[in-house]
Structures are given as C-alpha cells and as structure tokens.
C-alpha cells in the first residue's frame, strides 16, 4: 500500500514538472508581424509570465528577469546556453518589441515602428538630435536597420566597449558592435 502511494505521488510530481516545462519550452507565442499594435497584457497572459517566474525560481539553469526602466519594462527568459529565450519590451501598455526562439525550431521578431518612433520622440536626448530619423524616412528603411541605427546611437543600450563583454562563462559582443554587424548585413 505504501509503495503504491509513493508511485502515485511520484507520478503526480513528474506530471506537474513535465507540464510546467512544456509550458515554458513549447509555448512562446508567434506574433503576426503585420499587426499594427499588440496589447502587452494579452501577450504576458499568453506567455504565462507568473508560471515562468515560479519555474525559474525553483529550477537551475532557467532565468526570468523583469527590468523596469523610466518608460519601458522588459521581461526576459533564458534557458542556460541560450537554447531557448524570449525578450518582451513594453511601452505605454503596448508591445514595443518581442523576440523569441527555441533550439532553432522557430524564432519570432516583432517590432512596432510607430511605437518606437513615439518612444524615441519622447526621449529628451534624442528628440532634438540631428541624428534622429524623421517619420518620413522610416518607411524607406528595414526594421532591423532602424533598430541597429538607434542602438548604435546609444538608445536603450548600455555603454559597453571592446570586442567581447564577458558577463558569464561565455562572452558576448557588446550591443553596439552587434548593431554595426546588423547595419552591415542590411547593405548586402
């Protein structure tokens, strides 16, 4: 009888563990990139952020973070080794950008140009800059080029220098260096 009870408890715990992992590994929503605006609360609910946070708090090798800036909030999840991750940036209750991937099976990249332009326009340092793209210029550039251009100017990125920034066991290039690579790739 005790053996049967142990088997039932172990099976239940294993089922709970597998279902929580399945929710994290296999349920990153894919956004329609033609959408003009995506509600942030709906996407957070679909991601089931609270379950992801709970899972990461109790499971080694999984990290969930919430960064609150002056005007934006970013939610991110990373499985150690960057084999699965997502990053969701929210501005004024809408999704500014959302990126996700799982083991090369799929990836999503959503970026709201109009919301980004509004975000940049409200930043005092960039609002009056001669380097800011005019609204009329935006349609003539690819989304990746716009993002890279603003990162290179220092919008929403840390000042990092060097070839590789080593924050963990594996170093990664500074965001501004990646922006230069993205701009170069767009010229092909």
The count of domains in the chain is 2
Going along 41-179, which residue ranges are E strands?
62-68, 72-79, 84-91, 94-102, 106-111
Cα dihedral sign, 54-58-59-62: positive
What residue numbers bound the domain in which 37 lies? Answer: 1-111
Instruction: State whether 83 and 131 are in the same domain.
Output: no
pLDDT at 25: 43
Instruction: State whether 131 and 98 are in the same domain.
Output: no
Answer with the one of 42, 76, 111 that is the final residue of a domain: 111
Instruction: State whether 107 and 117 are in the same domain.
Output: no
pLDDT at 28: 66
CB-based burial of residue 119 (10 Å sphere; 0-12 exposed, 13-18 middle, 19+ buried)?
Answer: buried
Instruction: State whether 30 and 107 are in the same domain.
Output: yes
Instruction: State whether 32 and 68 are in the same domain.
Output: yes
Instruction: State whether 133 and 185 are in the same domain.
Output: yes
Block mean pLDDT (10 aa), the chain, length 188: 56 48 51 73 89 90 90 89 85 89 74 81 75 75 77 72 58 73 68
pLDDT at 94: 94
Answer with the one of 58, 86, 111 that is the final residue of a domain: 111
Q: Following DSSP, what letter does each residue of 24-80 receive, concatenated? A: HHS-PPPP-TT-S--BHHHHHHHHTHHHHHHHHHHSTTEEEEEEE-SSEEEEEEEET
Model-level pTM?
0.68
Answer with the one of 87, 111, 135 that is the final residue of a domain: 111
pLDDT at 186: 61
């Amino acid at each position: 009888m005790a053996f049967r009870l142990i088997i039932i408890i172990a099976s239940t715990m294993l089922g709970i563990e597998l279902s929580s992992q399945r929710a994290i590994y296999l349920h990153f929503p894919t956004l329609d990139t033609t959408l003009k605006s995506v509600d942030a609360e709906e996407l957070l609910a679909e991601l089931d952020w609270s379950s992801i946070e709970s899972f990461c708090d109790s499971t080694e090798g999984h990290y969930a973070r919430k960064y609150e800036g002056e005007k934006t909030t970013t939610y991110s999840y990373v499985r150690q080794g960057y084999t699965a991750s997502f990053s969701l940036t929210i501005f004024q209750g809408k999704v500014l950008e959302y990126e996700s991937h799982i083991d090369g099976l799929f990836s999503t990249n959503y970026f709201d140009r109009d919301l980004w332009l509004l975000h940049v326009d409200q930043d005092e340092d960039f609002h009056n800059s001669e380097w800011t793209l005019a609204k009329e210029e935006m349609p003539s550039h690819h989304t990746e080029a716009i993002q890279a251009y603003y990162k290179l100017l220092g919008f929403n990125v840390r000042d990092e220098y060097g070839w590789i920034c080593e924050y963990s066991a594996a170093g990664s290039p500074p965001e501004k260096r990646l922006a230069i690579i993205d701009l170069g790739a767009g010229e092909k």
